Amino acid sequence: MTVRVGVIGVGTMGQDHVVRLQRRVNGAEVVALADMDHARLEAVAASVPGARTMASGDDLIVADDVGGVVIASWGETHEQYVLSALAAGKPVFCEKPLAPEAEACQRIMDAERAGGRRLLQVGFMRRYDQAYRALFRTLREGALGAPLMIHCAHRNPGVPSFYAGGMPITDSAIHEIDIVRWLLEQEISAAQVLRPRRASRARPDLQDPLLLLLEMCDGTLVDVEVFATATYGYDIRCEVVCESGTVALGDGSRVVVRNGGARSDRVPDNFQERFRDAYDAEFQEWVNGVERGQTGGPSAWDGYAAAVAADAAVASLQSGERVSVSMLARPRFYEPTVAQPVLMNR
């Protein structure tokens, strides 16, 4: 059975997902597109045979032939579209952030729970990356003992001019916030941001680089370097220091070149290159779940937990103080062990 997908927001990420759904994911067909930028919408639609353009995201959500909704518009618009998709009873994939504020994530959780079944997956694609998955398995095998510290780095070659203020947290470190919760199966209890010497090229409205410290509920300490203008490539690092050893992401290059007395390998250009296979796996799992009538993957709770921790980190970026993370208790509905009822196939 083919899942008929509608995509809202056809900018960088939305276009990437449209191509993925058409060419690299089995069992999906893109049937409808919406974007408030009508010129862009028409240009993208011209390269998607069989997809029609919709006047608005809300029209797309309620269209009879749309069986699954992908939201890749700007973060502030996510809540409205997710709530509409939940009200229509449609499976929905929402790019991160689920919503910029924790209260909005709470409203989404309330709406999903009121419907009595999971319909929402949030786009934390690192959980589908083979290297992070190998790291997760190594920790579970137990030979290294308990994790004590995690060192992460999130380096971009550069960032657009609108990337400013809290975006090193809300746009970049949000991925580390999610992945360390997933790796450790622990929530974050406090955050603090340290401001190293600024790169000379950093704009005045951007603290670059910065160091984010996260305290996990069991005492594990995580440091995340965010360096938005690192220039040399897109470099993601993660090393877990355990009682009796360490485990780290490999460099990920498929080949190493030895030449002229030097050894080199490739640093990805951007997140699309580094995480391409992870995005593909993430969407394949989403499509399979929609087909089976069972949504899995990162949940509204994960979107909420990341938003609360990010809020604390942004507050610390402003104040310089350590900020406690204050969260709701996790509803039983979002416990990983609770089986979800199976939906009708669409």
User: Which parts of this chain interact with ligand NAD (CB under 6 A)?
Assistant: 8-14, 34-37, 40, 57, 72-75, 77, 95-96, 123, 125, 271
Closer residue to ligand NAD, CB minimum distance, 60 or 247? 60
Angle (deg, nearest 10), helices 174-184 and 130-141: 30
DSSP 335: -
Q: How far is the CB of 135 from ligand NAD (least distance, A)?
A: 18
Q: How far is the CB of 320 from ligand NAD (least distance, A)?
A: 26
| Peptide bond just before 97 cis, omega within 30 deg | yes
Maximum C-alpha span of the chain = 64
Q: How far is the CB of 11 from ligand NAD (least distance, A)?
A: 2
The whole-angstrom separation of Cα 11 and Cα 97 is 16
Which residue sits closest to ligand NAD, CB atoms considered?
11
Q: Would strands 262-264 and 257-259 be described as parallel, antiparallel, or unpaired?
A: antiparallel
Closer residue to ligand NAD, CB minimum distance, 221 or 285? 285
Q: Where are the alpha helices (DSSP H) in the chain?
A: 12-23, 38-45, 57-62, 78-87, 102-115, 130-141, 167, 174-184, 271-274, 276-292, 300-319
Q: How far is the CB of 165 from ligand NAD (least distance, A)?
A: 15
Q: How far is the CB of 175 from ligand NAD (least distance, A)?
A: 7
DSSP 76: G
Contact between 100 and 170 under an 8 Å Cβ cutoff? The reply is yes
Q: How far is the CB of 179 from ligand NAD (least distance, A)?
A: 12
The whole-angstrom separation of Cα 24 and Cα 289 is 16
The whole-angstrom separation of Cα 328 and Cα 254 is 43
Closer residue to ligand NAD, CB minimum distance, 171 or 225? 171
